[in-house]
Amino acid sequence: MGQTVFIPRELDANEPRVAASPDTVKRLAALGFDVVVETGAGTASRIPDEEFAKAGAAIGKAGDAAKADVVLKVRRPTDAELKGYKSGAAVIAIMDPYGNDAAVAALAKAGVTAFSMEFMPRITRAQSMDVLSSQANLAGYQAVVDAAAEYDRALPMMMTAAGTVPAAKAFIMGVGVAGLQAIATARRLGAVVTATDVRPAVKEQVQSLGAKFLAVEDEEFKAAETAGGYAKEMSKEYQTKQAALTAEHIAKQDIVITTALIPGRPAPKLVSAAMVASMKPGSVLVDLAVERGGNVEGAVPGKVVTTANGVKIVGHLNVPGRVAASASLLYARNLFAFLETLVDKATKTLAIKRDDELVKATMLTDAGKVVHPAFAKAAAEPPKGQHVEPAAIPAKTMVADASVKKAAPKKAAGKNAATGKSAAKPKGIA
């Protein structure tokens, strides 16, 4: 009898995605695994149990996790779920360990070998395993769709016998994976698109998508990227100039989408309340970082807020999950690509090579211990109910307060609008 892979139904009510697809079930079976999918696991992603069964999976119940050698999930397992896993099982998911030391310690206590997919290194070998990119790409697309729905006007310019409908103006803040897809989607829908980022290398990418790049392009800007592709901390003088330019620009926009999300850190504040107040009634802001504190002042997680001046601030949670059918297919392929590297092809059994660069980068816990260097402190369980955010640069307003008048900014501070690796492979959702 082969080793077993278990695919549970996600317990979080806000999580419609599933960690497998009929395609990956077939591939897992070809690797030598027996695959068990919990009843209803794929329903919210439009994958009925029958499709999994046709692909070769057995349809089981939550208790079947106790026999599994590998558990594939979307979100980190709860304490209740962990109690049903056997010690030594490999658990692969988006673990979201930052600020959740107690949860990381619980994984170690359960004796599972836990892998955090969001820590997958950005190297050529691991491109097919990059969950941040696959999910952020869909988040950027969905952000534009959500903005268009709330904007309740046409996005493209339309010339008719009755008159001309002007094109909507969209501004994308942060040109990473999500930002690039947002630019492309907004352009396809006919909007006039501008985008900003502190990395000069992304200017060409923005322009190649038919958008205009917005930045104070002085000598400091030209040297604003490290050899590794990261954004440098800009001087106060540059921040002030960029803030004034951005504030003036936002006041003229119909749609603003913010994408700056730095793993393990509070989301940097890009848009102040005064800037929101400078926008026209009916304008829309979509904050893709709302789950980590938000880029937009006034954004509320899980809500669409309408301000006193009639501007809508969209703060949907789990944006990739809003297109779950597509997100699940991509995520499942990411998981399979990684799991395949952990299998001995000759014996068709799990054989984790702990010196492998992918394993070292993603392994959180192993043999009852927290092994990831960034979370070793979680081995000593923190006081009950206390979840301490790891040391991070505080989120600050990155652009100055805006007013309806084109005034010089009162204040400028904080981090860059988007942080990531090289322009060719941006990091995270930024």
Which residues are 116's β-sheet partners?
A: 93
Q: pLDDT at position 2, please? A: 80
Equal fold, 4-130+323-379 vs 138-321? yes
Q: pLDDT at position 262, please? A: 72
Q: pLDDT at position 378, please? A: 52
How far, rounded to the nearest angstrom, does the alpha carbon of residue 142 sit from its chain's CA centroid? 12
When pLDDT is averaged across residues 176-201 and rounded to a whole number, the result is 94
Amino acid, res. 185 = T
Q: Please report which confidence band the pLDDT of residue 403 belongs to, taking 50, 70 and 90 as the band edges.
A: very low
In eight-state DSSP terms, residue 407 is P
Q: pLDDT at position 197, please? A: 87
Beta pairing, strands 284-287 & 363-366: unpaired
* Beta-carbon-side half-sphere exposure of residue 379 (alpha carbons within 13 Å): 13
Domain locations in the chain as residue ranges: 4-130+323-379, 138-321
Dihedral pair phi/psi, residue 90, rounded to 5°:
-90, 125
Q: What is the pLDDT of residues 63-102, one digit of tens each?
A: 999 999 999 999 999 999 999 999 999 999 999 999 899 9
Catalytic residue positions, numbered: 122, 127, 130, 133, 230
Q: What is the pLDDT of residues 324-357, one digit of tens each?
A: 999 999 999 999 999 999 999 999 999 999 999 9
* Structural class in CATH, domain 138-321: alpha beta
**Two structure tokens written together for 61:** 């119940």
Fold of 4-130+323-379: Rossmann fold (3.40.50)
**Two structure tokens written together for 303:** 């809500």
Q: What is the pLDDT of residues 253-311, one digit of tens each?
A: 999 999 987 767 788 889 999 999 999 999 999 999 999 999 999 999 999 999 999 99
Where helices occur in 95-210 by DSSP H, the ranges are 101-109, 131-151, 177-188, 203-208
Q: How far is the C-alpha of 53 from the C-alpha of 22, rounded, in Å?
A: 8
